[in-house]
Structure 1
Amino acid sequence: MTKYSITEFLKQTEQVDKGQGLFELETPRMLEINLTDKIWAKAGSMIAYNGKIKFEREGIFEHGIGKVFKKALTGEGTSLMKATGKGKLYLADAGKKITILHLQNDVIFVNGNDLLAFEPSINWDIKLMRRVAGMMAGGLFNVRCEGTGMIAITTHYEPLTLKVTPENPVITDPNATVAWSGSLQPEFQTDITLKTFFGRGSGESIQMRFEGEGFVVVQPFEEVYMNPNS
């Protein structure tokens, strides 16, 4: 058997059950869900499945009328799909790295573009960052996830977690900010000198400032959010 034979390729790339439970990293950029009931996932993230699984787009009033108004207001791209049934479901999002988090009565905020999947036991709500909505293309929004259960988030390349303490606030670029602990409420600040220095768009002039006790997750990549309503 040669190094580049089809047999060797299949051996190197075949699906392997790792016995990790409901959410399992098949590869660093592919999420396997051992579905037995129902999960929520980012619309369009399904790449393959087997078994009997039914996919439905999020019902317009499924999560309450308040969230419908928020989704219409933000024009955001985190449309959800519900997968129900039994089988193996594989999700991915543009080759981004996937991180699984098991919340245990925790609260975490996740950038709306970076939330890949979550269990129905997780309570969630869309939070629009109104103060920055008029300053960036499409504004910026995040999803507040609370409760006990699994969520999967995505990042471009490897994520970095920075600790926030009262003595050491952390300032980030909104386009590189992925998630932060529920104990933090970021404030927005502008930096005219930074904008002038880079000589680019408004992205570098807007910063998120985290003060208090908690953590913030960033990625080595600046995502540009486009408003589909524009």
Structure 2
Amino acid sequence: MHSTLFAHVPVESTGRYTLQNPQLLKADLTQGGGAVLARQGAMVAFEGQVDFQSQYKNRSWRNVERMTQERLELMKCKGQGHVYLANFAQHIHVMDVGGGITVDSASVLAFDSTLGVGIVAVDSAVGIASAGAYNLELTGTGKVALLTSGEPLVLEVTPGTNICADADAVIAWSTTLRTQMQAPTSTSGVWRRKGATGEGWEMQFQGSGYVLIQPSELMPPQHIRGGAFGFGLRGNSMGGSRN
């Protein structure tokens, strides 16, 4: 049997996470780092003896989710084998968490169970599609696989620079950054995507770190009303992952 399909075979590696192609990730559970926490339903195939469990969340964590509506339903993947993960053919990017990142839960595919997980408040009455009212904060030592719609752009923020991005295109940023929502237009213009320009809320980043941008914007909910400008981000993180 001959076909060009047979060129698409598993990529061999000894790493914890290996991209099979831009939209498909292999997680090696035999490597160090404990279990892998992945989006529920993200498994497309697996090899070996792998056990899938719904991720335990304590009462405090569930209370925070209920108040914030920031939910990431996870499954714990553990055992001896490989798990192949994907999400609607989105592009996947693996990175070390390092000093910590803030990310929208919709953009998380999988991460090491050794990482700490918290929910960070965006002090705004405005529900923004990507930079929502609440985001996840991942901290500690480990890796995370992020999702983007298309190939992303990484912008470095340094002291003295003025980096702004459409809030609907922002995927993640370093927790070391100071952030602020802004809309350089009238309030009524914001809800119309700045009138004739088609633009809406922007995020301003200051400090030292990085911002991940995707080449896709989600329109904000049309039922949103009210709000003000100059909202600061960052709040108290709560909850965490459990091995």
Q: Which interval holds the TM-score relative to the shorter structure?
A: 0.7 to 0.9
Q: Which residue of 2 aligns with 1:60?
A: 57
In structure 1, C-alpha distance between the alignment counterparts of 2:102 and 2:124, rounded to whole Å:
17
Q: Which residue of 1 aligns with 2:65?
A: 71
Over the aligned positions, Cα root-mean-square deviation in angstroms equals: 2.8
In structure 1, C-alpha distance between the alignment counterparts of 2:11 and 2:128, rounded to whole Å:
46
Q: Which runs of 4+ in 1 moved over 3 A?
A: 132-140, 193-204, 223-226
User: Match for 1:9 among 4, 10, 19?
Assistant: 4
Structure 1: gaps spanning 5 or more residues: 1-5
User: What per-residue deviation string (whole Å, max 9, x for no partner) do you get for residues 105-125 of structure 1?
Assistant: x21112211111111121121
The secondary structure found in structure 2 opposite 1:98 is: strand
Change (3 A) 1:83 1:151: same
Contact 2:156 2:209 in 1 (8 A): yes
Amino acid at match of 1:88: H
**TM-score between the two structures when normalised by the length of structure 1:** 0.82
Structure 2: gaps spanning 5 or more residues: 222-243
User: Match for 1:176 among 152, 163, 169?
Assistant: 169
Amino acid at match of 2:42: S
Identity of aligned residues (%): 30
Count, aligned residues: 216
Q: Which residue of 1 aligns with 2:184?
A: 191
Mapped pair 1:127 → 2:120: yes
In structure 2, C-alpha distance between the alignment counterparts of 1:189 and 1:145, rounded to whole Å:
25
TM-superposed CA distance for 1:218, in Å, is: 0.4
**TM-score between the two structures when normalised by the length of structure 2:** 0.78
Q: Which residue of 1 aligns with 2:137?
A: 144
Instruction: Judging by fraction of residues, say which structure has more strand.
Output: 1
Instruction: Judging by fraction of residues, say which structure has more helix.
Output: 1
Mapped pair 1:39 → 2:32: no
Contact 1:51 1:86 in 2 (8 A): yes
In structure 2, C-alpha distance between the alignment counterparts of 1:59 and 1:133, rounded to whole Å:
30
In structure 2, C-alpha distance between the alignment counterparts of 1:67 and 1:201, rounded to whole Å:
37
